[in-house]
Structure 1
Amino acid sequence: MKYITSGIFFLFFTTIAICQTWVTGKVIRIADGDTITLLDENKQQLKIRLYGIDCPERRQDYGMIARQFTADRCFRQVIRVEIKQADRYGRKVGIVILPNGKNLNKELLKAGLAWHYLSFDHSKEFADLERNAKQKRRGLWRMNKPVAPWLYRKHAA
């Protein structure tokens, strides 16, 4: 029993260490405001979904604005990504650090171009950034009743 417990303990912490790794690469594609593709140091393409946020879909109001915001900050740039996990589509989910040291996930929230994705992240910092953007009526928060992307996707299907 002692060996089984030790083995489970080892696997648990090894998995956490693997899930929270850093990758560096050049951004080669912007799918939308919260999904990019980068070419890593090994010339492998990695699709990255930004952690803790959800931008409007491309066909939604502010969808193309969010995509352009992301492109302006990282397309053809070398970035660092803290990989938090992989999603059900095989994308890596992480925090994107721009060449200037800023956190892209936070910048999208500050600009009012993303929702804090509470289903996956419960950080106070992200909640505060969204609340501040709402109060200042930035980006999509200028609209009377913006539709969250997860609701848009549900009704579009």
Structure 2
Amino acid sequence: MDFKNNVNKYLLGLITAIFLFVGVGCSDTSSSNNSAVQKNTTLTAQSQKQTKETAVKSPIKTEKAMVTRHVDGDTVYVKLENGTETKIRLIGVNTPESTTKHEEYGEEASNYTKSQLLGKTVYLEKDTSDTDKYGRLLRYVWLEQPTEINEDQIKTKMFNAILAINGYAEQSTYPPDVKYADYFKEFAAYARENNKGLWAINHNGTTKGDGIEAPSTSSSNSSSSRSSSSNNDNATVQQNQTQQVSQSNNQTATVYVTNTGKKYHSAGCKYLRKSQISISLSDAKAQGYEPCSVCNPPQ
């Protein structure tokens, strides 16, 4: 009987030891698993924090938006982050018309803008003016936020510039929104020299912006300049312009500027575009306009 009791005590002790061992092992395993989970969670949080901290920081202030509709080559509708839908007019460029009137390459420019922007997330940059006289927001439209402002990033990430460099738009500068005007002028010149887009249709362009003056060596211009009747007409125009200038040769004289360029003109100047804007001579000079040498406006 004592022997049997001793065996039972031994077995009981052995079983108890096994349970204790298994329990401690499970506890250690659970603790290890919990520790691993916590460690992974911590690493994930740190990784997300580092990703956020190392995210691209743009040197310019932009507003994120979604393009919801397109109007033509240089005008679209966007939905801002606050849910407001508004019309955007691209700054610094002008595409051929395709809505109220139809100009060469207007449909192509409109379709190109639609294919590149519709439904896309874009980043809007403001210059000096907020809206134009039609209530449209004036903005540069970035396809991606730039990491720095240089020619390469402007021509590959800003849609205004992409239109110009591919020949879908001419430069169109309205002071005081001139931040990227020099780039647009360079890109439009490149497109013209390489017969891209609208320049392939007409070497003078189609929107008559202020990019580059038409060359004066064409056969039609040459024959006209050799024509005596043309010379007489030009002499008459010059005489009339001189008379007009002499009558208003003071700081309150009215001169004219176009929607692009930095020259002011007298009425009737052959380089005065259809989008002429009247302005006083003093205001023109104050805004940095220079006289057009062709029509000899008041100084």
Aligned residue pairs, count: 135
The 1:109/1:39 distance shift into structure 2, 3 A limit, reads same
Q: What is the DSSP-based 3-state SS (H/G/I as helix, E as strand, rest coil) of the residue aligned with 2:206?
A: coil
- Paired with 1:100 and 1:67, the residues of 2 have a C-alpha distance of 24
Per-residue Cα deviation, 1:80-125 (whole angstroms, up to 9, x for no partner): 1102221001111111011486110000001101010034447221
Q: Which amino acid aligns with 1:111?
A: N
Q: What is the DSSP-based 3-state SS (H/G/I as helix, E as strand, rest coil) of the residue aligned with 2:126?
A: strand
Is 1:114 the counterpart of 2:177? The answer is: no
The 1:113/1:43 distance shift into structure 2, 3 A limit, reads same
How do 1:31-50 and structure 2 match up within 5 A?
A: 31-50=71-90
Q: CA deviation at 1:67?
A: 1.1
Identify which of 62, 66, 74 aligns with 2:117.
Answer: 74
| Corresponding residue of 1:25 | 65
Contiguous gaps of at least 5 residues in structure 2: 1-59, 147-156, 210-272, 277-299
How do 1:2-151 and structure 2 match up within 5 A?
A: 22-58=62-98, 59-84=102-127, 85=129, 86-99=131-144, 102-120=157-175, 121=178, 123-144=181-202, 145-148=204-207
Q: Which amino acid aligns with 2:138?
A: V
* Higher Cα Rg, which structure: 2
RMSD: 2.3
The 1:40/1:109 distance shift into structure 2, 3 A limit, reads same
| Corresponding residue of 1:15 | none
Instruction: Tell whether the 8 Å contact from 1:57 to 1:149 is kept in structure 2 after alignment.
Output: no
Q: Which amino acid aligns with 2:200?
A: R
TM-score where L is the length of structure 2: 0.42
TM-score where L is the length of structure 1: 0.77
